[in-house]
Amino acid sequence: MLQTGLIATIATLVSSAVIAETEVKIGYALAPDSHYGVAAQKWQEVVEAQTDGKFTFRHFPSSGLGGEREVVEGLQLGTVEATIVSTGTLSNFVPATGVTDIPFLFRSLDHARNVLDGPIGKGILSEFDSAGLVAIAWGEQGFRHITNNRNAVEKPEDLAGLKLRTMENPVHLAAFNAAGAAPTPMAWPEVIGALQQGTIDGQENPLSVIVSVKLDEVQKYLTLSGHVYSPAMLLVSKPFWEGLSDEDKTAFENGATEAVAAMRQYVDNVEKSGAETLKERGMEVNELSTDQKAAFRASIESAYEGYYETYGKDLIEKISATE
């Protein structure tokens, strides 16, 4: 009996050790102190607390697992368990995601959050299942702005021929082509080097990114254009998810909810302080007025016709009508 009891005890300890060593590799494009890193850390804290340490997160920040497309493909294969990723890449996997990237569609952070947390946003999340991915929640980056080394951007004509890095996103490409710029799709890990070498003139990103990666070190002009609201998404590998118990899934969902709250708080803070921070670091900053934004919106009217065809005018108008 003693021997049997000892064997059972050892088996229990071994089983517990195996459970404690379940690793969750989480990759994201930015640094640990960015809004991505803050969200990833909160996700980890909640999951580990609610599962008694059953899962151990291993972070791969700053594109440590490659570009966003490679990381998402890793989730599909089951070689990566989780990611926080921009929607610019996701439209290549779930086309419906692209509707959130339409320029001048969202009026404010509150408007965007209400859309994404409501039926429209939940409907898009549900489409990821068919792409072999589990979309748990919408994250956030904020409104995108233009930086460059050529000239201040105050009117559409200032974009003429500007070599501007964009994400590999057909919605963004259509808009900047319509405005007369020279959009250049490029994976994020290549951008800083391309700016330093002059291969491209500029790029566009939310203040949360511009500040955290210190783009002021390689860019002179910042235009607060707010041309696109930029969401993010918290994804989990479908093979990994299907191996979880219902209790574990709930822990990951709860963690994602708290991660989004932390991410949005970060964005709220940087939206208030980011421009001043970049001015202090030496960037020349200008903010577009309502009339100037209207001129830019008019300059991409031809792109909107394509958006209506791709995503449906009814959907776009429903998003606009959301309070």
Residue 48 lies in a domain: yes
The residue type of 167 is M
Average pLDDT over residues 101-110: 94
CA angle 179, 267, 209 (to 5 degrees): 55
Average pLDDT over residues 272-278: 95
Residue 10 lies in a domain: no
Range of the domain at 208: 21-316
3-class secondary structure per residue, the chain = CHHHHHHHHHHHHHHHHHHHCEEEEEECCCCCCCHHHHHHHHHHHHHHHHCCCCEEEEEECCCCCCCHHHHHHHHHHCCCCEEEEEHHHHCCCCHHHHHHHCCCCCCCHHHHHHHHHCHHHHHHHHHHHHHCEEEEEEEEEEEEEEEECCCCCCCHHHHCCCEEEECCCHHHHHHHHHCCCEEEECCHHHHHHHHHHCCCCEEEEEHHHHHHCCHHHCCCEEEEEEEEEEEEEEEEEHHHHHCCCHHHHHHHHHHHHHHHHHHHHHHHHHHHHHHHHHHHCCCEEEECCHHHHHHHHHHCHHHHHHHHHHHCHHHHHHHHHCC
CA dihedral defined by 306, 308, 309, 315, rounded to 10 degrees? 150
3-class secondary structure per residue, 140-202 = EEEEEEEEECCCCCCCHHHHCCCEEEECCCHHHHHHHHHCCCEEEECCHHHHHHHHHHCCCCE
Residue 8 lies in a domain: no
CATH number at residue 115: 3.40.190.170
Contact between 220 and 149 under an 8 Å Cβ cutoff? The reply is: yes
pLDDT higher than 70, residue 20: no
With a CB cutoff of 8 Å and minimum separation 6, the contacts of 265 are: none
Q: How many domains does the chain have?
A: 1
At 198-242, the pLDDT tens digits run 999 999 999 989 998 999 999 999 999 999 999 999 999 999 999
At 42-61, the pLDDT tens digits run 999 999 999 999 999 999 99
Residue 134 lies in a domain: yes
Q: What is the mean pLDDT of the chain?
A: 92
Predicted confidence at residue 14, as pLDDT, reads 42
Token duo for residue 249: 């899934």
Contact between 176 and 183 under an 8 Å Cβ cutoff? The reply is: yes
Taking the whole predicted model, whether its pTM rises above 0.75 is answered as yes
Residue 45 lies in a domain: yes
Token duo for residue 43: 């996700």
Predicted confidence at residue 10, as pLDDT, reads 42
Residue 181 lies in a domain: yes
Residue 322 lies in a domain: no
At 129-183, the pLDDT tens digits run 999 999 999 999 999 999 999 999 999 999 999 999 998 888 999 999 999 999 9
Predicted confidence at residue 21, as pLDDT, reads 76
The residue type of 212 is S
